[in-house]
Amino acid sequence: MYLGLPLEIAKDRILNNLKENPLRSKSEETPANAEEVYKKIKERFESEQKRYWELYKIDNTKKENYDLVVDTDKNNLKEVVNIIVREYKNWLNRR
């Protein structure tokens, strides 16, 4: 399963959550600005790409490697969960 989200939107969601969620901002080092958040997301994304390549010799960003691709930009949390559950049930019925 691939849950897709552009880095810019991920940055905005993290910044909003840090403002709205005092527990998160206390438990994490709060980035100084939006550019720092974006930089950290990009570094993590690149680290994950490298790790997947080293472990499995696959490009984890190629959507054709996945049975299910969900765009989390166009779907809210409830919709994403519903898509995943529906597709999982469909998969079980095909077995």
- The domain ranges of the chain are 2-67
Q: Hey, what amino acid is at 91?
A: W
pLDDT in tens, 27-64: 767 776 889 989 999 999 999 999 999 999 999 999 99
Q: pLDDT averaged over the chain?
A: 91
* Interatomic CA distance for residues 68 and 87, integer angstroms: 8
d(CA 5, CA 12): 11
Asked if pLDDT for residue 87 goes beyond 90, the answer is: yes
Query: 68 to each of 24, 65, 72, 94, how far by Cα in Å?
Result: 30, 9, 12, 15
- pTM of the full structure: 0.76
pLDDT at 31: 73
CA distances from 25 to 11, 22, 40, 45 (A): 15, 5, 15, 21
As a whole number of angstroms, the distance between CA 62 and CA 23 comes to 35
Report pLDDT for 95. 85
Q: Is the pLDDT of residue 5 over 90?
A: yes
